[in-house]
Amino acid sequence: MYNTTNKTKHARIVTEVPGKKSLSIYNDEQKFIAPGTQTIASLSKIALERGDGAIIEDVDGNRYIDFFAGVGVASLGYNHPKYVKFMTDQIGKIHVGSFVTKNRAELAELLAEVAPGDITRSQFYSSGAEAVEAALRLAKSYTKKTEFLGFWGGFHGKTMGVLGLLSDTFKYNLGPLPVGTFSTPYANCRRCPLNDTFPECKFRCVDFIKEKIRYETTNQIAAIILEPIQGTNGNVVPPKGFLVELKKLTEEIGALLIVDEMITGFGRTGKMFGCQHDDVVPDIITIGKGFGGGYPMTGLMSRDEVISAKPFSNPSGSSSSYGGNPLASAAAYITLKTIIEDGLVENSRKVGAFMLERFKELQKKYDFIGDVRGKGLMIGVELVKGKNSKEKLDKKYTQLIFTECLKRGLITMGYNPDIRINPPLIITEEIAAEGIEIMDEVFQNVAEQIKY
Ligand SMILES: Cc1ncc(COP(=O)(O)O)c(C=O)c1O
Protein backbone atom coordinates (compact mmCIF):
# COMPACT_ATOMS: atom_id res chain seq x y z
CA MET A 1 0.00 0.00 0.00
CA TYR A 2 1.22 3.49 -0.83
CA ASN A 3 1.54 5.56 2.34
CA THR A 4 0.40 9.17 1.96
CA THR A 5 1.08 10.11 5.59
CA ASN A 6 3.15 13.31 5.89
CA LYS A 7 3.43 13.58 2.13
CA THR A 8 0.05 15.03 1.31
CA LYS A 9 -2.36 17.28 3.13
CA HIS A 10 -5.57 16.67 1.22
CA ALA A 11 -5.12 13.23 -0.34
CA ARG A 12 -5.23 10.37 2.17
CA ILE A 13 -4.79 6.72 1.35
CA VAL A 14 -5.43 4.27 4.18
CA THR A 15 -5.93 0.95 2.37
CA GLU A 16 -4.91 -0.79 -0.82
CA VAL A 17 -6.70 0.83 -3.77
CA PRO A 18 -9.32 -0.36 -4.46
CA GLY A 19 -9.97 -1.24 -0.82
CA LYS A 20 -11.84 -4.35 0.30
CA LYS A 21 -15.20 -2.60 0.78
CA SER A 22 -15.01 -0.88 -2.61
CA LEU A 23 -14.07 -4.07 -4.37
CA SER A 24 -16.88 -6.01 -2.74
CA ILE A 25 -19.49 -3.44 -3.86
CA TYR A 26 -17.91 -3.26 -7.31
CA ASN A 27 -17.98 -7.03 -7.73
CA ASP A 28 -21.57 -7.28 -6.48
CA GLU A 29 -22.67 -4.76 -9.09
CA GLN A 30 -20.74 -6.46 -11.87
CA LYS A 31 -23.16 -9.39 -11.69
CA PHE A 32 -26.09 -7.19 -12.72
CA ILE A 33 -24.89 -3.99 -14.35
CA ALA A 34 -24.54 -3.78 -18.14
CA PRO A 35 -20.97 -3.82 -19.37
CA GLY A 36 -19.79 -0.51 -20.82
CA THR A 37 -19.74 1.73 -17.75
CA GLN A 38 -17.35 4.71 -17.79
CA THR A 39 -13.71 3.71 -18.24
CA ILE A 40 -12.58 5.67 -15.19
CA ALA A 41 -15.02 3.73 -12.99
CA SER A 42 -14.10 0.31 -14.28
CA LEU A 43 -10.37 0.99 -14.11
CA SER A 44 -10.50 2.30 -10.54
CA LYS A 45 -13.13 -0.04 -9.05
CA ILE A 46 -13.66 2.35 -6.14
CA ALA A 47 -17.11 2.82 -4.60
CA LEU A 48 -17.90 6.36 -3.48
CA GLU A 49 -19.05 7.31 0.00
CA ARG A 50 -18.95 11.12 0.07
CA GLY A 51 -17.31 14.23 -1.35
CA ASP A 52 -16.21 17.51 0.10
CA GLY A 53 -15.06 20.46 -2.01
CA ALA A 54 -12.58 19.07 -4.52
CA ILE A 55 -12.06 15.84 -2.58
CA ILE A 56 -13.81 12.49 -3.07
CA GLU A 57 -13.88 9.79 -0.39
CA ASP A 58 -14.44 6.10 -1.05
CA VAL A 59 -16.14 3.58 1.25
CA ASP A 60 -12.75 2.48 2.62
CA GLY A 61 -11.97 5.99 3.83
CA ASN A 62 -9.46 6.84 1.07
CA ARG A 63 -9.58 10.50 0.06
CA TYR A 64 -8.71 11.56 -3.49
CA ILE A 65 -8.05 14.95 -5.03
CA ASP A 66 -10.45 15.21 -7.94
CA PHE A 67 -9.06 16.42 -11.30
CA PHE A 68 -12.03 14.75 -13.05
CA ALA A 69 -15.28 16.16 -11.57
CA GLY A 70 -17.37 13.64 -13.56
CA VAL A 71 -15.96 15.25 -16.75
CA GLY A 72 -16.58 18.76 -15.50
CA VAL A 73 -20.04 17.98 -14.12
CA ALA A 74 -19.31 18.73 -10.45
CA SER A 75 -18.75 22.43 -11.11
CA LEU A 76 -19.30 23.39 -7.46
CA GLY A 77 -17.45 20.32 -6.22
CA TYR A 78 -19.11 18.18 -3.56
CA ASN A 79 -21.26 19.02 -0.58
CA HIS A 80 -21.26 22.74 -1.40
CA PRO A 81 -23.25 24.30 1.48
CA LYS A 82 -25.31 26.60 -0.77
CA TYR A 83 -26.15 23.72 -3.15
CA VAL A 84 -27.03 21.29 -0.37
CA LYS A 85 -29.32 23.77 1.42
CA PHE A 86 -31.09 24.92 -1.74
CA MET A 87 -31.67 21.40 -3.04
CA THR A 88 -32.79 20.09 0.36
CA ASP A 89 -35.31 22.93 0.68
CA GLN A 90 -36.60 22.33 -2.84
CA ILE A 91 -37.03 18.56 -2.54
CA GLY A 92 -39.06 19.10 0.61
CA LYS A 93 -41.42 21.39 -1.32
CA ILE A 94 -41.93 19.91 -4.80
CA HIS A 95 -39.55 18.12 -7.12
CA VAL A 96 -41.37 17.31 -10.38
CA GLY A 97 -44.01 18.83 -12.64
CA SER A 98 -44.13 20.68 -15.93
CA PHE A 99 -45.19 24.01 -14.44
CA VAL A 100 -43.06 27.08 -14.00
CA THR A 101 -41.48 27.70 -10.60
CA LYS A 102 -39.94 30.91 -9.27
CA ASN A 103 -36.51 29.32 -9.58
CA ARG A 104 -37.05 28.45 -13.22
CA ALA A 105 -38.27 31.95 -14.08
CA GLU A 106 -35.24 33.43 -12.31
CA LEU A 107 -32.90 30.92 -13.92
CA ALA A 108 -34.10 31.82 -17.43
CA GLU A 109 -33.62 35.51 -16.66
CA LEU A 110 -30.15 34.93 -15.21
CA LEU A 111 -29.15 32.92 -18.29
CA ALA A 112 -30.26 35.79 -20.52
CA GLU A 113 -28.06 38.13 -18.45
CA VAL A 114 -24.90 36.00 -18.71
CA ALA A 115 -25.36 34.77 -22.30
CA PRO A 116 -23.48 36.57 -25.05
CA GLY A 117 -25.17 39.13 -27.34
CA ASP A 118 -28.84 38.76 -28.18
CA ILE A 119 -29.20 35.23 -26.79
CA THR A 120 -32.04 35.63 -24.31
CA ARG A 121 -34.20 32.50 -24.43
CA SER A 122 -33.63 28.99 -23.08
CA GLN A 123 -35.28 25.58 -23.07
CA PHE A 124 -34.31 22.76 -20.72
CA TYR A 125 -33.63 19.03 -21.05
CA SER A 126 -32.08 16.26 -18.99
CA SER A 127 -29.19 14.92 -21.05
CA GLY A 128 -26.56 16.56 -23.18
CA ALA A 129 -27.35 14.50 -26.26
CA GLU A 130 -31.03 15.39 -25.91
CA ALA A 131 -30.16 19.10 -25.81
CA VAL A 132 -27.96 18.74 -28.90
CA GLU A 133 -30.73 16.90 -30.74
CA ALA A 134 -33.15 19.67 -29.77
CA ALA A 135 -30.67 22.19 -31.22
CA LEU A 136 -30.66 20.23 -34.49
CA ARG A 137 -34.48 20.28 -34.52
CA LEU A 138 -34.43 24.00 -33.91
CA ALA A 139 -31.93 24.58 -36.72
CA LYS A 140 -34.13 22.61 -39.12
CA SER A 141 -37.20 24.53 -37.96
CA TYR A 142 -35.54 27.90 -38.56
CA THR A 143 -33.59 27.31 -41.75
CA LYS A 144 -35.97 24.78 -43.33
CA LYS A 145 -32.81 22.97 -44.38
CA THR A 146 -31.88 19.39 -43.59
CA GLU A 147 -28.12 18.76 -43.30
CA PHE A 148 -25.54 19.14 -40.52
CA LEU A 149 -21.81 19.44 -40.35
CA GLY A 150 -19.69 18.48 -37.34
CA PHE A 151 -15.93 18.17 -36.83
CA TRP A 152 -13.34 15.42 -36.70
CA GLY A 153 -12.74 14.57 -33.07
CA GLY A 154 -16.04 16.17 -32.03
CA PHE A 155 -18.31 14.67 -29.40
CA HIS A 156 -21.97 15.51 -28.79
CA GLY A 157 -23.45 12.48 -27.00
CA LYS A 158 -24.38 8.93 -27.82
CA THR A 159 -27.96 9.00 -29.13
CA MET A 160 -28.73 7.97 -32.72
CA GLY A 161 -29.44 11.53 -33.87
CA VAL A 162 -25.95 12.77 -33.08
CA LEU A 163 -23.97 9.66 -34.07
CA GLY A 164 -23.24 11.05 -37.53
CA LEU A 165 -21.70 14.15 -35.97
CA LEU A 166 -19.31 12.20 -33.76
CA SER A 167 -16.17 12.04 -35.71
CA ASP A 168 -14.83 9.26 -33.60
CA THR A 169 -14.62 5.47 -33.65
CA PHE A 170 -17.53 5.35 -31.20
CA LYS A 171 -19.94 5.09 -34.10
CA TYR A 172 -18.29 1.97 -35.56
CA ASN A 173 -20.77 -0.85 -36.18
CA LEU A 174 -23.72 1.37 -35.25
CA GLY A 175 -24.62 2.41 -38.78
CA PRO A 176 -26.24 3.42 -40.92
CA LEU A 177 -25.72 6.99 -39.72
CA PRO A 178 -28.54 9.52 -39.93
CA VAL A 179 -28.71 10.87 -43.47
CA GLY A 180 -27.45 14.40 -44.01
CA THR A 181 -24.67 14.37 -41.39
CA PHE A 182 -21.12 15.25 -42.41
CA SER A 183 -17.86 16.00 -40.69
CA THR A 184 -14.77 17.98 -41.50
CA PRO A 185 -11.31 18.61 -39.96
CA TYR A 186 -11.22 20.69 -36.74
CA ALA A 187 -8.58 23.39 -36.29
CA ASN A 188 -6.36 20.97 -34.37
CA CYS A 189 -3.18 22.72 -35.51
CA ARG A 190 -0.71 20.45 -33.74
CA ARG A 191 -2.08 17.56 -35.78
CA CYS A 192 -3.51 19.39 -38.79
CA PRO A 193 -5.25 16.78 -40.98
CA LEU A 194 -4.64 19.04 -43.98
CA ASN A 195 -0.93 19.17 -43.20
CA ASP A 196 -0.97 22.94 -43.03
CA THR A 197 0.67 25.35 -40.62
CA PHE A 198 -1.12 28.07 -38.71
CA PRO A 199 -1.22 31.09 -39.16
CA GLU A 200 0.22 30.82 -42.69
CA CYS A 201 -2.70 28.57 -43.70
CA LYS A 202 -5.18 31.38 -42.91
CA PHE A 203 -7.71 28.82 -41.63
CA ARG A 204 -7.58 26.57 -44.66
CA CYS A 205 -9.74 24.11 -42.70
CA VAL A 206 -12.58 26.65 -42.88
CA ASP A 207 -12.10 27.19 -46.62
CA PHE A 208 -12.08 23.42 -47.01
CA ILE A 209 -15.66 23.34 -45.65
CA LYS A 210 -16.84 25.16 -48.77
CA GLU A 211 -15.34 22.42 -50.94
CA LYS A 212 -16.83 19.80 -48.66
CA ILE A 213 -20.30 21.30 -49.00
CA ARG A 214 -19.91 21.63 -52.76
CA TYR A 215 -18.83 18.06 -53.41
CA GLU A 216 -20.43 16.02 -50.63
CA THR A 217 -23.73 17.58 -49.58
CA THR A 218 -27.00 18.61 -51.22
CA ASN A 219 -26.19 22.24 -50.27
CA GLN A 220 -28.81 22.19 -47.52
CA ILE A 221 -26.67 22.79 -44.43
CA ALA A 222 -28.96 23.81 -41.57
CA ALA A 223 -26.14 24.17 -39.04
CA ILE A 224 -22.49 23.69 -38.29
CA ILE A 225 -21.94 22.35 -34.78
CA LEU A 226 -18.73 22.37 -32.77
CA GLU A 227 -17.17 22.44 -29.33
CA PRO A 228 -15.18 25.66 -28.75
CA ILE A 229 -12.54 23.42 -27.13
CA GLN A 230 -12.80 19.72 -27.99
CA GLY A 231 -13.21 17.94 -24.66
CA THR A 232 -13.48 14.23 -25.46
CA ASN A 233 -10.74 14.60 -28.07
CA GLY A 234 -8.30 15.63 -25.31
CA ASN A 235 -9.10 19.27 -24.45
CA VAL A 236 -7.88 20.44 -27.85
CA VAL A 237 -7.80 24.24 -28.19
CA PRO A 238 -8.24 25.74 -31.68
CA PRO A 239 -6.41 28.98 -32.52
CA LYS A 240 -8.05 32.31 -31.80
CA GLY A 241 -10.32 33.36 -34.66
CA PHE A 242 -11.59 29.87 -35.60
CA LEU A 243 -15.11 30.61 -34.36
CA VAL A 244 -15.06 34.02 -36.04
CA GLU A 245 -14.30 32.38 -39.39
CA LEU A 246 -17.00 29.77 -38.87
CA LYS A 247 -19.55 32.41 -37.97
CA LYS A 248 -18.74 34.28 -41.20
CA LEU A 249 -19.06 31.06 -43.16
CA THR A 250 -22.44 30.11 -41.68
CA GLU A 251 -23.77 33.59 -42.49
CA GLU A 252 -22.50 33.22 -46.03
CA ILE A 253 -24.22 29.85 -46.59
CA GLY A 254 -27.44 30.61 -44.68
CA ALA A 255 -26.78 28.09 -41.90
CA LEU A 256 -26.76 28.44 -38.11
CA LEU A 257 -23.72 28.12 -35.86
CA ILE A 258 -24.38 25.80 -32.91
CA VAL A 259 -21.73 26.00 -30.22
CA ASP A 260 -21.87 22.98 -27.92
CA GLU A 261 -20.82 24.40 -24.55
CA MET A 262 -21.68 21.25 -22.59
CA ILE A 263 -18.22 21.16 -21.05
CA THR A 264 -16.90 24.65 -21.83
CA GLY A 265 -19.88 26.57 -20.41
CA PHE A 266 -20.27 28.30 -17.06
CA GLY A 267 -16.70 29.24 -16.27
CA ARG A 268 -14.88 26.04 -17.19
CA THR A 269 -12.52 27.87 -19.60
CA GLY A 270 -12.03 31.01 -17.50
CA LYS A 271 -14.87 32.87 -19.23
CA MET A 272 -18.59 32.29 -18.72
CA PHE A 273 -18.79 30.62 -22.16
CA GLY A 274 -16.05 29.20 -24.36
CA CYS A 275 -17.27 31.14 -27.43
CA GLN A 276 -16.47 34.38 -25.58
CA HIS A 277 -12.73 33.79 -26.09
CA ASP A 278 -13.45 34.65 -29.72
CA ASP A 279 -16.17 37.23 -29.00
CA VAL A 280 -18.55 35.28 -31.19
CA VAL A 281 -22.29 35.19 -30.59
CA PRO A 282 -23.50 31.80 -31.87
CA ASP A 283 -27.04 31.22 -33.11
CA ILE A 284 -27.61 28.38 -30.63
CA ILE A 285 -25.66 27.36 -27.53
CA THR A 286 -26.14 23.95 -25.93
CA ILE A 287 -25.47 23.63 -22.20
CA GLY A 288 -25.26 20.84 -19.62
CA LYS A 289 -22.79 18.99 -17.38
CA GLY A 290 -21.59 21.68 -14.89
CA PHE A 291 -24.80 23.68 -15.51
CA GLY A 292 -26.78 21.67 -12.93
CA GLY A 293 -23.83 21.19 -10.57
CA GLY A 294 -24.37 17.43 -10.89
CA TYR A 295 -28.12 17.28 -11.29
CA PRO A 296 -29.03 16.07 -14.83
CA MET A 297 -30.04 19.46 -16.20
CA THR A 298 -29.17 20.55 -19.74
CA GLY A 299 -30.56 22.99 -22.26
CA LEU A 300 -30.22 25.18 -25.27
CA MET A 301 -30.19 28.93 -25.64
CA SER A 302 -30.90 31.07 -28.67
CA ARG A 303 -32.22 34.43 -29.80
CA ASP A 304 -35.88 35.36 -30.16
CA GLU A 305 -36.08 35.13 -33.92
CA VAL A 306 -34.51 31.66 -34.15
CA ILE A 307 -36.19 30.05 -31.17
CA SER A 308 -39.65 31.15 -32.29
CA ALA A 309 -39.40 29.03 -35.47
CA LYS A 310 -42.01 26.34 -36.00
CA PRO A 311 -42.46 23.41 -35.48
CA PHE A 312 -39.91 23.81 -32.62
CA SER A 313 -42.04 26.52 -31.00
CA ASN A 314 -45.41 24.76 -31.40
CA PRO A 315 -47.16 23.91 -28.10
CA SER A 316 -45.11 21.07 -26.48
CA GLY A 317 -42.73 21.29 -29.47
CA SER A 318 -39.56 22.15 -27.56
CA SER A 319 -40.23 20.68 -24.11
CA SER A 320 -39.62 17.29 -22.42
CA SER A 321 -40.77 15.30 -19.35
CA TYR A 322 -37.97 16.11 -16.93
CA GLY A 323 -36.26 19.14 -18.46
CA GLY A 324 -36.54 22.18 -16.19
CA ASN A 325 -38.65 20.44 -13.55
CA PRO A 326 -38.66 22.11 -10.11
CA LEU A 327 -35.65 20.20 -8.73
CA ALA A 328 -33.62 20.52 -11.95
CA SER A 329 -34.34 24.25 -12.11
CA ALA A 330 -33.36 24.68 -8.46
CA ALA A 331 -30.09 22.87 -9.15
CA ALA A 332 -29.16 25.00 -12.15
CA TYR A 333 -30.31 28.23 -10.53
CA ILE A 334 -28.25 27.77 -7.36
CA THR A 335 -25.26 26.52 -9.37
CA LEU A 336 -25.22 29.51 -11.70
CA LYS A 337 -25.93 31.96 -8.85
CA THR A 338 -23.05 30.47 -6.86
CA ILE A 339 -20.70 30.55 -9.85
CA ILE A 340 -21.44 34.28 -10.14
CA GLU A 341 -21.50 35.14 -6.39
CA ASP A 342 -18.38 33.15 -5.50
CA GLY A 343 -16.35 34.41 -8.49
CA LEU A 344 -15.79 30.90 -9.85
CA VAL A 345 -15.20 32.06 -13.42
CA GLU A 346 -12.33 34.13 -12.08
CA ASN A 347 -11.13 31.21 -9.93
CA SER A 348 -11.14 28.97 -12.99
CA ARG A 349 -9.03 31.53 -14.88
CA LYS A 350 -6.61 32.03 -11.98
CA VAL A 351 -6.11 28.45 -10.79
CA GLY A 352 -6.23 27.23 -14.41
CA ALA A 353 -3.36 29.57 -15.37
CA PHE A 354 -1.38 28.33 -12.36
CA MET A 355 -1.95 24.69 -13.32
CA LEU A 356 -1.10 25.29 -16.98
CA GLU A 357 2.18 26.88 -15.94
CA ARG A 358 3.04 23.96 -13.66
CA PHE A 359 2.26 21.42 -16.41
CA LYS A 360 4.47 23.41 -18.81
CA GLU A 361 7.29 23.03 -16.27
CA LEU A 362 6.65 19.27 -16.20
CA GLN A 363 6.79 19.27 -20.00
CA LYS A 364 10.38 20.55 -19.79
CA LYS A 365 11.21 17.81 -17.31
CA TYR A 366 9.71 14.76 -19.08
CA ASP A 367 10.33 14.11 -22.73
CA PHE A 368 7.15 12.06 -23.10
CA ILE A 369 5.02 15.19 -22.56
CA GLY A 370 4.51 16.39 -26.12
CA ASP A 371 2.01 19.18 -25.57
CA VAL A 372 0.34 21.13 -22.78
CA ARG A 373 -2.67 23.27 -23.70
CA GLY A 374 -5.83 24.63 -22.19
CA LYS A 375 -7.90 27.52 -21.00
CA GLY A 376 -9.10 27.97 -17.43
CA LEU A 377 -9.69 24.64 -15.71
CA MET A 378 -9.81 22.70 -18.97
CA ILE A 379 -6.29 21.47 -19.63
CA GLY A 380 -4.90 18.82 -21.96
CA VAL A 381 -1.55 17.09 -21.44
CA GLU A 382 -0.51 15.01 -24.43
CA LEU A 383 1.82 12.07 -23.87
CA VAL A 384 3.99 10.91 -26.78
CA LYS A 385 6.85 8.56 -27.55
CA GLY A 386 9.61 11.10 -26.89
CA LYS A 387 10.17 14.80 -27.59
CA ASN A 388 10.61 14.47 -31.33
CA SER A 389 7.69 12.14 -31.83
CA LYS A 390 4.01 12.88 -32.27
CA GLU A 391 3.13 9.23 -31.87
CA LYS A 392 1.00 8.84 -28.76
CA LEU A 393 2.31 6.95 -25.75
CA ASP A 394 1.13 3.33 -25.41
CA LYS A 395 -1.93 2.83 -23.27
CA LYS A 396 -0.11 0.33 -21.05
CA TYR A 397 1.91 3.30 -19.75
CA THR A 398 -0.98 5.74 -19.56
CA GLN A 399 -3.10 3.23 -17.64
CA LEU A 400 -0.17 2.79 -15.29
CA ILE A 401 -0.13 6.57 -14.80
CA PHE A 402 -3.82 6.44 -13.95
CA THR A 403 -3.53 3.65 -11.38
CA GLU A 404 -0.36 5.07 -9.82
CA CYS A 405 -2.08 8.45 -9.40
CA LEU A 406 -5.10 6.73 -7.87
CA LYS A 407 -2.93 4.82 -5.40
CA ARG A 408 -1.46 8.15 -4.26
CA GLY A 409 -4.85 9.84 -3.90
CA LEU A 410 -5.44 11.59 -7.23
CA ILE A 411 -8.27 10.94 -9.65
CA THR A 412 -7.38 12.11 -13.13
CA MET A 413 -8.28 11.03 -16.68
CA GLY A 414 -4.73 9.83 -17.16
CA TYR A 415 -5.58 6.52 -18.77
CA ASN A 416 -5.49 8.00 -22.29
CA PRO A 417 -2.43 9.59 -23.92
CA ASP A 418 -4.35 12.88 -23.95
CA ILE A 419 -4.80 13.48 -20.25
CA ARG A 420 -7.82 15.67 -19.58
CA ILE A 421 -7.67 17.82 -16.47
CA ASN A 422 -11.00 19.37 -15.43
CA PRO A 423 -11.34 19.72 -11.66
CA PRO A 424 -14.30 21.35 -9.88
CA LEU A 425 -14.35 25.14 -10.37
CA ILE A 426 -13.92 25.64 -6.62
CA ILE A 427 -10.50 24.00 -6.50
CA THR A 428 -7.83 26.02 -4.70
CA GLU A 429 -4.25 26.57 -5.85
CA GLU A 430 -3.07 24.58 -2.84
CA ILE A 431 -5.09 21.47 -3.70
CA ALA A 432 -4.25 21.81 -7.40
CA ALA A 433 -0.54 22.01 -6.54
CA GLU A 434 -0.77 18.88 -4.39
CA GLY A 435 -2.47 16.98 -7.24
CA ILE A 436 0.22 18.08 -9.70
CA GLU A 437 2.95 17.01 -7.25
CA ILE A 438 1.39 13.55 -7.22
CA MET A 439 1.42 13.53 -11.03
CA ASP A 440 5.06 14.64 -11.03
CA GLU A 441 6.00 11.75 -8.73
CA VAL A 442 4.06 9.29 -10.90
CA PHE A 443 5.62 10.64 -14.12
CA GLN A 444 9.06 10.19 -12.54
CA ASN A 445 8.17 6.65 -11.61
CA VAL A 446 6.74 5.75 -15.02
CA ALA A 447 9.58 7.52 -16.89
CA GLU A 448 11.95 4.93 -15.47
CA GLN A 449 9.86 2.12 -16.98
CA ILE A 450 9.00 3.56 -20.40
CA LYS A 451 10.49 1.93 -23.47
CA TYR A 452 9.52 3.67 -26.72
C1 LIG B 1 -19.50 18.52 -25.83
C2 LIG B 1 -20.48 17.47 -25.41
N3 LIG B 1 -21.73 17.52 -25.89
C4 LIG B 1 -22.65 16.61 -25.53
C5 LIG B 1 -22.34 15.60 -24.66
C6 LIG B 1 -23.39 14.58 -24.29
O7 LIG B 1 -23.82 14.75 -22.99
P8 LIG B 1 -24.62 13.58 -22.23
O9 LIG B 1 -23.63 12.53 -21.87
O10 LIG B 1 -25.20 14.28 -21.03
O11 LIG B 1 -25.66 13.09 -23.18
C12 LIG B 1 -21.06 15.51 -24.13
C13 LIG B 1 -20.71 14.42 -23.19
O14 LIG B 1 -19.58 14.17 -22.87
C15 LIG B 1 -20.10 16.47 -24.51
O16 LIG B 1 -18.84 16.43 -24.05
Q: How many CB atoms lie within 10 A of CB 248?
A: 14
Is the pLDDT score of 6 beyond 70? no
What share of the chain has pLDDT > 90, as a percent? 95
Using one digit for the tens of pLDDT, what is the confidence trace for 121-138?
A: 999 999 999 999 999 999
Q: Which of 148-157, 158-167, 185-194, 344-353 has the lowest mean pLDDT?
A: 158-167
Instruction: Classify residue 311 by burial, with Cβ atoms within 10 Å: 0-12, 13-18, 19+.
Output: exposed
Is the pLDDT score of 2 beyond 80? no
The residue contributing the CA closest to ligand 1 atom 4 is: 156
> For ligand 1, is residue 226 a contact (CB within 6 Å)?
no
pTM reported for the whole predicted model: 0.97
Is the pLDDT score of 339 beyond 90? yes
Q: What pLDDT does 362 receive?
A: 98
Top mutation candidate among 226, 262, 287, 418 for ligand 1, by most atoms within 8 Å of CB: 262
Which residues does 147 contact at the CB level (< 8 Å), separation at least 6? Answer: 180, 181, 182, 217, 218, 220, 221, 222
Top mutation candidate among 130, 226, 263, 266 for ligand 1, by most atoms within 8 Å of CB: 263
- Whose CA is closest to 205, among 222, 192, 191? 192
Using one digit for the tens of pLDDT, what is the confidence trace for 300-320?
A: 999 999 999 999 999 999 999
- Taken in order of first residue, the domains within the chain and their CATH numbers are 20-74+344-447 (3.90.1150.10), 81-341 (3.40.640.10)
Using one digit for the tens of pLDDT, what is the confidence trace for 142-184?
A: 999 999 999 999 999 999 999 999 878 889 999 999 999 999 9
The Cα–Cα gap between 401 and 279 comes to 37
Is the pLDDT score of 5 beyond 70? no
Q: What pLDDT does 399 receive?
A: 95
